[in-house]
């Protein structure tokens, strides 16, 4: 009987503590890295597609830290990997524009 009372008291204390605990929140810093503006106005679609799709999963820093001047074939393979391996919901037309923009800009 005494053991049941002790168990009930311990359970009530745990429930009371859990009820008072507030959820933790974290203030994330504003992103500071931005994609480079395209040097060619014809790359505007790719620039927009990069901002709409790529930054959903990672920052512009991820792109900037890749080896420079690899060209659109390299970036096309990277975009294809993001679609096939990581299931990035990027349409074919956007994928081509992204690869062209990144190849010309990075």
Residue 16 within any structural domain of the chain: no
Half-sphere exposure of 18 (CA within 13 A, CB side): 6
Q: Indicate whether 17 belongs to any domain.
A: no
Q: pLDDT digits over 31-86, tens only?
A: 688 999 998 999 999 999 999 999 989 999 999 999 999 999 999 999 999 999 99
The number of domains in the chain is 1
The whole domain housing 82 covers 41-105
pLDDT above 90 for 13: no
The answer to whether residue 72 sits within a structural domain is: yes
How confident is residue 1, by pLDDT bands cut at 50, 70 and 90?
low
- Specify if 34 maps to a domain: no
Q: What is the CATH number of the domain that holds 101?
A: 1.10.760.10
26 within some domain: no
pLDDT, mean of residues 9-38: 74
């Amino acid at each position: 009987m005494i053991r049941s009372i002790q168990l009930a008291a311990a359970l009530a204390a745990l429930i009371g503590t859990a009820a008072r605990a507030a959820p933790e929140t974290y203030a994330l810093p504003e992103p500071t890295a931005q994609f480079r503006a395209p040097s060619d106005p014809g790359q505007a679609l790719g620039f927009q597609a990069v901002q709409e799709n790529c930054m959903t999963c990672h920052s512009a820093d991820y792109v900037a830290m890749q080896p420079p001047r690899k060209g659109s074939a390299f970036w096309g393979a990277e975009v294809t990997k993001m679609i096939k391996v990581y299931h990035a919901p990027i349409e074919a037309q956007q994928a081509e524009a992204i690869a062209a923009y990144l190849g010309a800009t990075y």
